[in-house]
Structure 1
Amino acid sequence: MQTHQFNPYSACTSILIGKNATADGSTMIGRNEDSRAAWAKKFVIHPHAEFDAAPTFTSQDAEHPFKMTLPKIRAKYSATPEWTPKYGLFEEDGINEYGVAMSATESAYCNARVLAADPYVVDGIGEEAMVTVTLPYIHSAREGVERLGQIVEEHGTYETNGILFSDAEEVWYMETGAGHYWVAQRIPDDAYAVVANQLAIQEIDLADHDNYLYAKGIRDFVVDNQLASMANGLNFREVFGTADISDQHYNTPRVWYGQQYFTPEVEQDPESFNLPFIQRANRLIHIDEAQHYLASHYEGTPFDPVGNGTKTAKHLYRPISLAKTQESHVLQIRPDLPATTSGIHWLAMGVAAESVYVPFFAGASTTPAAYQVATEKYDSQSAYWVYKLVGVLVDAHYHALHGKLGDTQKELAIQLGHQLIQTDRQVVDLAGDELVAALDAANEAAANTALTTMRTLTAELITTSTDMSPLNYNTDLNL
């Protein structure tokens, strides 16, 4: 995630799941966008647009003045931009009208040897622009990799990132390395991957273009700069990535926990540098399980920061869901449906562990009003702040109040899931403007259900909390 000047240590967690690894044949990509504990997000849908002249994208990030010419046709797409464009747009995640999903980015790090050979480019592309200049112009996940790869090669990049792409058939994970190089791997249809702020892709088969894509000249770059012999092929993680003690406490445990959750029979060490990138689950994965992973914090282990472990254990590893999450999303492309109804943008504003994933049809024309309000300080009309307020109230008396939140989250998951099923049935014979209007109404209903319930919970939490003051004193009411 982001590397704003005020937050140089931000980080995210990602999940990618192939179509044959899910219970309903969907492809799924998801990520926690982690930056600051209070940094509001919006949820928008940009309309399809066609311009007479090719527009120019110019970054508003003064430190990284990236600029490029864009195509004349821009597809409709959903996105979650920030409350202010001062540091860049950071649209982060979305689904376009062609049924292609993108999430950017998973921040990672290159080692000094690689950067010495190909330094970062100050006015190159960075996370804040990647969704904006890529997602509206692609018709498949593979095309997304190729477009962004070409941009990185031509313009350079000022950071190292992992980018997620999917469509109804394929899921791809792409990683940039140094100033101009990148690789991408197709997630096997029967597999999943979880990623946590390290370069994750391992062996690249340079001859297998069905499953691997990469920057032109990457082999010569590695050999000419004596980064590796290439005698045994290219292991991108080993050659371009890092492996230090901070990784063992900040990054690898999150991958370990994800693989323990989906593949519990595998015995692994949370601090291992050898956790595989590609893994197979012991079951078909449901959408709520992908969401559960992103909302998790080592439950069932001594490392849960709100669990029963020792003080040392509870603070040993950085959790998946944490206070600095701005929003969490799972982008689901469902099979055997037209693009207008196949893409579901599941969005949990704020901290996923204390929020709820609301299903939004990306084929709609707009988003609910509360999701378009984002402010620097608390605003009761903003969806982001509604969910954040619940988390703040629960955190104040976590063990006394988190049960109320958990019950509410479960009930909302049931209600929202049922509404989604009902909408699917109601729109099956609709098309054109009539279909879009129905999806707009469904999104409005889902938002209203979630926000009304969370506001009711807020009232209950405030009322209950009034008797939990440290200034309280039990006294005889007859005195």
Structure 2
Amino acid sequence: MLTHQFNPYSACTSILIGKNATADGSTMIGRNEDSKAAWAKKFVVHPHAEFDAPQTFQSHDQDHPFTMTLPKIRAKYTATPEWTPKFGLFEEDGINEHGVAMSATESAYCNARVLAADPYVQDGIGEEAMVTVTLPYITSAREGVERLGKIIETHGTYETNGILFSDTDEVWYMETGAGHYWVAQRIPDDAYAVVANQLAIQEVDYADHENFLYAKGIRDFVVNNQLASMANGLNFRDVFGTADLSDQHYNTPRVWYGQKYFTPEIEQDPESFDLPFIQRANRLIHIDEAQHYLASHYEGTPFDPVGGGTDAEKHTYRPISLAKTQESHVLQLRPDKPAGVRGIHWLAMGVAAESVYVPFYANVDTTPAAYQLATEKYDDQSAYWIYKLAGVLVDAHYHDLHALLNEVQKETTIKLGHHLIMTDQAIANTPAAELSAKLTQANEQAAKIALTAMQNLSAELITKSTDFSPLNYETDLNL
């Protein structure tokens, strides 16, 4: 994610997993939305709506006044917008009523020679609008790529991004380059990909329309501007992307760690510019393993910021989960479930390493009240701030208190997993007309489990922290 002009160094980490690479046959896309350490998020659901005339989208971002016409029919979809629309909506991630998931965006960078040939368009589309103008109007992952691609070709874009799409059958990763160009690759069903703020797609096969999509005229653009000969095809990463010293410390190590976790038998350099985009795991991947990666910070290596390495080692690479994460999500689509219960919007508010992933059914009428409340400053009724408080309290005395956090995370994750299993069983024969209400109630219960656990944890952390004051002194209890 690259949001708000006052925070130019924000970034995200993404994961995409094909249906035959997961333990239960589901597709998964996930991402850490990273921007500011205190920038609250909501979790909402927009109802299905049908209008008499086409609607108009107008960006709230005054620096990028993007506008476009929208269809008359808008599908229901979940989203995680920001506490204020002042700088844009930034709805970021969600699942719609047709069982399509979208996460946007993974911020990336385009090199100067490409931008010289096709500069950014200041009133084009950016991250803040992409979910809002795309997800409610698509019925498949492929259709999502095609719709957003057409918008970019028509209106242009003012930044470089990676966008994730999935349905129960396909997972797609799309990347924009320069003002009007883009490519997209289907993640093979037996593979996964992890992405970290670099253009990642490598060789584009123009003849393989089942697995690659791309902007009209991109081949001529590359050749006419002498960006590459195209004799051996197009390597999008090499031609459009960057490869500099900051990439080696900020970006590539996160990809290295993800591939080390899922494919440990392959030895690779964390600073290599040749890490593959598509990779195969040495096992079938479970939902908690996808979440574990997004919540990780180089555990088991000298580069863990809270580990046992030297001070220099601990600050060598930017970790996956960090204080500037606003929320982390994994969007899971389960083909073995009835259509109304396939979509699970796993959501960890705040820093994933210090939060819990709550399984929210996407086919609901509304979201829990605490998740709809997002404020600029701390509010003890806001889900975002409830999770952030626990993390801040742990951070103050990390090595004394993180074991307690880990214990609560484990216990809560078990309860939430059991709740999901029992709910799936309980609603198996629920009539379609009653299903959304049942799932809405189940989401309320899941939120209560997680929020109560975090509130109780914070109370215990505050109590334990009282004896860590620098004004403390060993005193005779009789005095």
Q: What is the TM-score with the length of structure 2 in the denominator?
A: 1.00
Measured in 1, the distance between the counterparts of 2:252 and 2:156 equals 28
Measured in 2, the distance between the counterparts of 1:318 and 1:399 equals 20
- Alpha-carbon contact 2:364-2:436 (below 8 Å) kept: yes
Residue 441 in structure 1 maps to residue 435 in structure 2: no
Equivalent residue runs for 1:192-207 within 5 Å: 192-207=192-207
Measured in 2, the distance between the counterparts of 1:478 and 1:401 equals 29
When the two chains are superposed, the root-mean-square deviation of aligned CA atoms in Å is 0.5
Measured in 1, the distance between the counterparts of 2:431 and 2:187 equals 33
- Whichever residue aligns with residue 157 of structure 1, its letter is T
Instruction: Using the TM superposition, give the Cα deviation of residue 433 of structure 1 relative to its aligned residue in structure 2, in angstroms.
Output: 2.9
Residue 216 in structure 1 maps to residue 216 in structure 2: yes
Residue 305 in structure 1 maps to residue 305 in structure 2: yes
Residue 337 in structure 1 maps to residue 337 in structure 2: yes
Instruction: Using the TM superposition, give the Cα deviation of residue 446 of structure 1 relative to its aligned residue in structure 2, in angstroms.
Output: 0.0
Aligned to 1:389: 389
Q: Secondary structure at the match of 1:467?
A: helix
- Whichever residue aligns with residue 143 of structure 1, its letter is E
Tell me the alpha carbon deviations over residues 393-442 of structure 1, each in whole angstroms, 9 at most, x when there is no partner. 00000000000000000001100000000000011111223111110110
Measured in 1, the distance between the counterparts of 2:237 and 2:76 equals 35
Instruction: Using the TM superposition, give the Cα deviation of residue 57 of structure 1 relative to its aligned residue in structure 2, in angstroms.
Output: 0.2
Residue 374 in structure 1 maps to residue 378 in structure 2: no
Measured in 2, the distance between the counterparts of 1:450 and 1:179 equals 43
Tell me the alpha carbon deviations over residues 424-465 of structure 1, each in whole angstroms, 9 at most, x when there is no partner. 001111122311111011000000000011100000000000
Instruction: Using the TM superposition, give the Cα deviation of residue 335 of structure 1 relative to its aligned residue in structure 2, in angstroms.
Output: 1.1
Aligned to 1:50: 50
Query: Can you give the 5+ residue segments of structure 1 that lack an aligned partner in the other structure?
Result: none
Instruction: Using the TM superposition, give the Cα deviation of residue 478 of structure 1 relative to its aligned residue in structure 2, in angstroms.
Output: 1.9
Instruction: Using the TM superposition, give the Cα deviation of residue 340 of structure 1 relative to its aligned residue in structure 2, in angstroms.
Output: 1.7
Measured in 1, the distance between the counterparts of 2:150 and 2:109 equals 21
Aligned to 1:187: 187
Instruction: Using the TM superposition, give the Cα deviation of residue 359 of structure 1 relative to its aligned residue in structure 2, in angstroms.
Output: 0.2
Measured in 2, the distance between the counterparts of 1:139 and 1:415 equals 33
Equivalent residue runs for 1:132-171 within 5 Å: 132-171=132-171
Instruction: Using the TM superposition, give the Cα deviation of residue 338 of structure 1 relative to its aligned residue in structure 2, in angstroms.
Output: 3.0
- Whichever residue aligns with residue 117 of structure 1, its letter is A
Query: Can you give the 5+ residue segments of structure 2 that lack an aligned partner in the other structure?
Result: none
Aligned to 1:12: 12
Instruction: Using the TM superposition, give the Cα deviation of residue 247 of structure 1 relative to its aligned residue in structure 2, in angstroms.
Output: 0.1
Identity rate, percent = 83
Q: Secondary structure at the match of 1:33?
A: strand
- Alpha-carbon contact 1:2-1:128 (below 8 Å) kept: no
Aligned to 2:417: 417
Instruction: Using the TM superposition, give the Cα deviation of residue 150 of structure 1 relative to its aligned residue in structure 2, in angstroms.
Output: 0.1
Tell me the alpha carbon deviations over residues 12-43 of structure 1, each in whole angstroms, 9 at most, x when there is no partner. 00000000000000000000000000000000
Aligned to 1:455: 455
Measured in 1, the distance between the counterparts of 2:91 and 2:368 equals 17
Tell me the alpha carbon deviations over residues 324-367 of structure 1, each in whole angstroms, 9 at most, x when there is no partner. 00000000000132332000000000000000000000001110
Q: Secondary structure at the match of 1:103?
A: strand
Measured in 1, the distance between the counterparts of 2:133 and 2:427 equals 32
Measured in 1, the distance between the counterparts of 2:454 and 2:196 equals 30
- Whichever residue aligns with residue 118 of structure 1, its letter is D
Aligned to 2:28: 28
- Alpha-carbon contact 2:3-2:128 (below 8 Å) kept: no
Aligned to 1:268: 268
Instruction: Using the TM superposition, give the Cα deviation of residue 392 of structure 1 relative to its aligned residue in structure 2, in angstroms.
Output: 0.2
Measured in 1, the distance between the counterparts of 2:337 and 2:421 equals 14
Aligned to 1:363: 363
Instruction: Using the TM superposition, give the Cα deviation of residue 477 of structure 1 relative to its aligned residue in structure 2, in angstroms.
Output: 1.7
Measured in 2, the distance between the counterparts of 1:67 and 1:10 equals 25
- Alpha-carbon contact 1:339-1:363 (below 8 Å) kept: no
Q: Secondary structure at the match of 2:467?
A: coil
Residue 83 in structure 1 maps to residue 83 in structure 2: yes
Aligned to 1:252: 252
Aligned to 1:175: 175
Aligned to 1:282: 282
Aligned to 1:98: 98
Residue 59 in structure 1 maps to residue 59 in structure 2: yes
Measured in 1, the distance between the counterparts of 2:78 and 2:338 equals 17
Measured in 2, the distance between the counterparts of 1:361 and 1:339 equals 12
Tell me the alpha carbon deviations over residues 117-175 of structure 1, each in whole angstroms, 9 at most, x when there is no partner. 00000000000000000000000000000000000000000000000000000000000
- Alpha-carbon contact 2:183-2:212 (below 8 Å) kept: yes
- Alpha-carbon contact 1:297-1:321 (below 8 Å) kept: yes
- Whichever residue aligns with residue 221 of structure 2, its letter is F
Aligned to 1:108: 108
Q: Secondary structure at the match of 1:423?
A: helix
- Whichever residue aligns with residue 253 of structure 1, its letter is P
- Alpha-carbon contact 1:33-1:325 (below 8 Å) kept: yes
Measured in 1, the distance between the counterparts of 2:15 and 2:339 equals 22
Larger mean CA deviation between 330-339 and 20-29 belongs to: 330-339
Q: Secondary structure at the match of 1:445?
A: helix
Q: Secondary structure at the match of 2:347?
A: strand
- Alpha-carbon contact 1:38-1:326 (below 8 Å) kept: yes
Instruction: Using the TM superposition, give the Cα deviation of residue 2 of structure 1 relative to its aligned residue in structure 2, in angstroms.
Output: 2.5
Measured in 2, the distance between the counterparts of 1:88 and 1:407 equals 38
Q: Secondary structure at the match of 1:466?
A: helix
Q: Secondary structure at the match of 1:438?
A: helix
Instruction: Using the TM superposition, give the Cα deviation of residue 101 of structure 1 relative to its aligned residue in structure 2, in angstroms.
Output: 0.1
- Alpha-carbon contact 1:97-1:339 (below 8 Å) kept: no
Instruction: Using the TM superposition, give the Cα deviation of residue 5 of structure 1 relative to its aligned residue in structure 2, in angstroms.
Output: 1.3
Measured in 1, the distance between the counterparts of 2:131 and 2:257 equals 28
- Whichever residue aligns with residue 256 of structure 1, its letter is W
Measured in 2, the distance between the counterparts of 1:391 and 1:414 equals 20
Measured in 2, the distance between the counterparts of 1:298 and 1:433 equals 46
Measured in 2, the distance between the counterparts of 1:98 and 1:249 equals 40
Aligned to 1:71: 71
Instruction: Using the TM superposition, give the Cα deviation of residue 116 of structure 1 relative to its aligned residue in structure 2, in angstroms.
Output: 0.1
Residue 401 in structure 1 maps to residue 401 in structure 2: yes
Instruction: Using the TM superposition, give the Cα deviation of residue 290 of structure 1 relative to its aligned residue in structure 2, in angstroms.
Output: 0.1
Measured in 2, the distance between the counterparts of 1:65 and 1:434 equals 41
Measured in 2, the distance between the counterparts of 1:300 and 1:55 equals 51
- Whichever residue aligns with residue 26 of structure 1, its letter is S
Aligned to 2:468: 468
